[in-house]
Amino acid sequence: MPDPTDAPSTSPMVTVVYSPDALGDQSYNDLIYSGVENISNQKELRTLHLSPATREEGLDYLENIFRLMEAPGDSVRRLFIVASSDYDAWLRQNNRRLEGNPCADLLYLETATPLDGKGSTLYMPYYGAMYEAGALTPHFMEKVMMVGANPEDGHVLEAMQGFKDGFDTYWFPLNPEEKKLVTMYIGQHAGEGYSITDTLALKMIAEYRKLANEGFGRHTVVVPVCGGAGAVFQRLCTILQQFIVMGIDVENYAVNSQYSAVKHIDWAVEESIVKWFSGEGMAKHQTLGLASGYTEMKVHFRPYWVLRIRNLNAPSDEVLKQLHEEAIRKEELKMKSDE
């Protein structure tokens, strides 16, 4: 507890509001946390991380914050980061409430649509990185179990579509009849499916085997586009010694991961806080995709037995470069078509 005789701190403060039960996902939200803490330690900023148990609790957090901050109460600079599209409608209806407080700033992550009125937005399209990963997949594995959090969250659908479009190409020679992609969802509605029990994950793996006519599973890669639930599939596949798991968001996802689609949201958050803290100010809207380097496909080539049993060599640097350039073009075309 603070000493009541101490003067209140006037250090700038960064507050983050996450999706329900988001922290600890070993993925996207933990990267945001790390980015905020890293730059805040460097700049000696105060931080507060709010990970509500439910969406309603998250909305209560936001209402309390906005009620206190909509009028100038002190001269302390405060940055509020909203890290979830779960609160999109509420945020767009209420962001102008902060316009009366010059010390309060707002950053809304992962939306392609800028805010009307006060607040900056940041969008990191994942289509290109996932397209690149999907196109590379047949070099190692001809079967894919792609697990989405739910069929309603736009960023999930964008990532899954990118992977599918890449997988449907023929960068590497493979009999089309050997390729098979099975799509499954953990939840059915927006905000659902980012956590999963071992029992349900095992049931989904068993269901996949039936749909894909898969036996032992040495020719399957699991692509978990489901936040923290992906760590459960990674752990189970490691224990069972079945399937290969593609990393999502984090660079070194697992020992049984040959490659990862990485989203450097921690870099983007750090850069935004630096601009805010310096007085330069954050851009009204930023789009940071594959061409910017803030998203990418990282190749690990682990485990090596995959290459050995299939008598494969690692793709050449030239082939990977050409694939990367095509993925950038595909993402730019996708973004134009979505405008």
Question: DSSP letters along 59-105, please?
Answer: HHHHHHHHHHHSS---S--EEEEE--GGGHHHHHHHGGGGGG-TTEE
For the chain, what is the radius of gyration of the CA atoms?
Answer: 21
27 — pLDDT class (breaks 50, 70, 90) = confident
Could you read off the pLDDT of 227-282 as tens digits, one per residue?
Answer: 889 989 988 888 887 788 888 988 765 566 778 999 999 999 999 999 999 989 99
The residue whose two tokens read 């289509």 is 127
Walk me through the domains of the chain, giving residue ranges and CATH numbers. 13-123+266-291 (3.40.50.2300), 127-262+304-338 (3.40.50.2300)
Higher pLDDT, 27 or 275: 275
User: What is the DSSP track for 190-214?
Assistant: TT--S---HHHHHHHHHHHHHHHT-
309 — pLDDT class (breaks 50, 70, 90) = very low
Q: Residue 125: is its pLDDT beyond 60?
A: yes
Could you read off the pLDDT of 33-80 as tens digits, one per residue?
Answer: 999 999 999 999 999 999 999 999 999 999 999 999 987 778 899 999
User: Among 119-128, 132-141, 207-216, where is mean pLDDT lowest?
Assistant: 207-216
Q: Residue 173: is its pLDDT beyond 60?
A: yes
Identify whether 12 is preceded by a cis peptide bond (ω within 30 of 0).
no
314 — pLDDT class (breaks 50, 70, 90) = low
Q: Residue 303: is its pLDDT beyond 60?
A: no
- Helix, coil or strand: residue 166: helix
Tell if the pTM clears 0.85, that is, is over it. yes
Could you read off the pLDDT of 183-212 as tens digits, one per residue?
Answer: 999 999 988 999 999 999 999 999 998 888
Could you read off the pLDDT of 286-300 as tens digits, one per residue?
Answer: 999 999 999 999 887
Q: Residue 306: is its pLDDT beyond 60?
A: no
Distance, in Å, from the CA atom of 191 to the CA atom of 227, rounded to the nearest integer, reads 11
Q: How far is CA 312 from CA 176, 217, 255, in A?
A: 18, 18, 19
138 — pLDDT class (breaks 50, 70, 90) = confident
pLDDT at 237: 84
